[in-house]
Amino acid sequence: MPKETTRVSLTLPEELLKKIDKVVKTGDYSSRSKAVRDALRDFLANHKWRGELSGKVFGAIILVYDHDTPDLVNKLLDIQHGFRSLINSVQHLHVSESDCLETLIIQGDSEKVRELVNKLKSLRGVKQVKLTTVGK
């Protein structure tokens, strides 16, 4: 365990905790805390990296959402139309009865990309948004 630690209590959805415990059971982590610490480090690295994006970037945004969420599909389309100069192509995969996966190939200003990612993330029913950019 790291030298200085603080105990915190978190409120997590049951489903998420079950998934974490499942990961711990695979043996990659010796405890829940260890798994969560690792996840948080990953989150921070990602967050920092995204904050440091600058200039023109290109890459892909992958999002997973529940298309049964009222009005979500309309909102997603409106947002994508608003950012049409950024979005080169969209690929859609129907993952299950209600889940959809979309890949948006993007190219453009990093500020705009960030804005788009944040907008997508803020929608209810959107389960995951991942941004991958590649350098020139």
Nearer to Ni ion, 20 or 101 (CB): 101
* CB closer to Ni ion out of 35 and 83: 83
**Using an 8 Å Cβ cutoff, are 56 and 108 in contact?**
yes
Which structure tokens are listed for 22?
């499942």
CB of 18 to Ni ion, least distance (A): 26
Reduced to 3 states (helix: H, G, I; strand: E, B; else coil), residue 32 is helix
CB 95 → Ni ion: shortest distance, Å? 7
> Residue 11 or 74: which CB sits closer to Ni ion?
74
| Token pair in block for residue 30 | 């010796």
Strands 99-109 and 87-94: antiparallel
**Least gap, CB of 103 to Ni ion (angstroms):** 12
Distance between first and last Cα of the chain:
40
Return the DSSP state at 98: S
- Distance of closest approach, residue 64 Cβ to Ni ion, in angstroms: 10
Residues within the interface to Ni ion (CB under 5 A): 94, 100
- Closer residue to Ni ion (CB): 18 or 94: 94
Query: How remote is the C-alpha of 102 from its chain's centroid?
Result: 12
